Structure 1
């Protein structure tokens, strides 16, 4: 703070020293060569400059303190500054900037809420024609209609992902922590994806006891649905299993979802949770968006869970969800 003050006042100090020096030179050149008078003049100049600097520092102490120590909280800008004109002007500037900042924040919140509302309405509107298509083709087994059913399933899952991604913006208003049965969630996800399992010739092998965890049922179903969908999709055609089992330790409850699919290259493993990252497998499976696991990690962090992935290319992938005690 003192260093800032001295740097600010340095031009004034320099000018005063130059002024005193010039006065002494003029006096000396005019024939006044009494050393006592010269020293007295020098002392008076230095004394007056020191008094002024001390007064200036004390009157602007809070001002320089504020400049030297940026605020940690927004409400600190309303702390009383000195009564000096420049301090008062700074206080008024900070208050006006704070008002502008709050207005911008409120405007951004309004726009964000409008965007989330629009996305929610749009997704629900798009689900209506999908439901109608499902009703039309559900009693028919023709190959063409089965292909349409597969595509509608993809559309529905894509719409669900958009809906959940939009809801993340207002996550704090859209979750409720309560005891949730893992077995119930797993069974529900498997039922919803039964056509996906059949199409990809993957068999779900579930070994879960009646464990309950503290979580939000809707968001946890989204997490598990994303992981199981990936396990089935990347095991397509291999006729393998999607093994789902649990383990309880002193740390908490662990849910494991393991497949024997294509696996993830070691070079891609550290980036699988990055948004829009599809990696080497994404070039083979064109439907990959790179958003599924990114949303899974973000939701897990918000719920206080942990998600980890282990994988060996060509052998399969293991996803571990940890629910802390």
Structure 2
């Protein structure tokens, strides 16, 4: 099998958005070319075909699935369909940038819960933060930006504590990078907790970020409520072709995921060998703590998502980018304390 093509930037490396470094799979690119010859036509009024393709692949009923413009689009539909302005959403801080932004757009009160020192989410504190005005709680698995993974047993206990009137969003945007033995039994969780909605995307492992295709699934009752906000003609014509071709090329996808994971782990080992306390990531990025990390990467022409205190999150998968990161950080290593404060205790991410 030929090695996949890595898309090289024109200057420096842009590692800020946890993008897939590889060009689209050949079969997916071919399917998209065919679609381009028909773009004078509107897509489906409502995306029934796309929903059917996803439902069949995931072993779900079609009325359990909702789609949108990336996971972010689906998250916005969820917020607007289950919460009213002035009600609250609980999430870990820092988190995926979209949640505080979307909460503000939906006029929801944000309740950020500080992350644990080991990069994990404090599910006990999140459950305690739920009050009469809370309508949504978000748990990212893996977490963004740390890449840590909530333990399945802890999650089970947490879900039992959450009132049924509160919708729990289980954000699995990076699911494909998680070891198979650590993947949740989503069907069982939905059967036991009809207030849970899983959120996934084709932007990360599938490398289709530019097409903005995301989906969620839940109990039929909750999914139908979310689908009331489906925008007519809102999913582009390329979505069905791209998703169908991606599912058909799953073997190639897994090879690419394996390559990204190998590079991620090699880069983490190198950094930890220098004494940088990088937590284990289950996603396609690494969170690198240290007061001068973000500045050092910027000086080297490397774009990264930076956080209060100087830490940074970088996308992984491109060996050349990994070497550039190590080269940029080498001069700063001696200045990083052995016991470093990994995360800011609060603040908008």
After TM superposition, the score normalised by the length of structure 2 is: 0.20
Larger-gyration structure (1/2) = 1
Relative contact order, higher structure (CA 8 A, sep 6+): 2
Structure whose residues are more often helix by fraction: 1
After TM superposition, the score normalised by the length of structure 1 is: 0.21
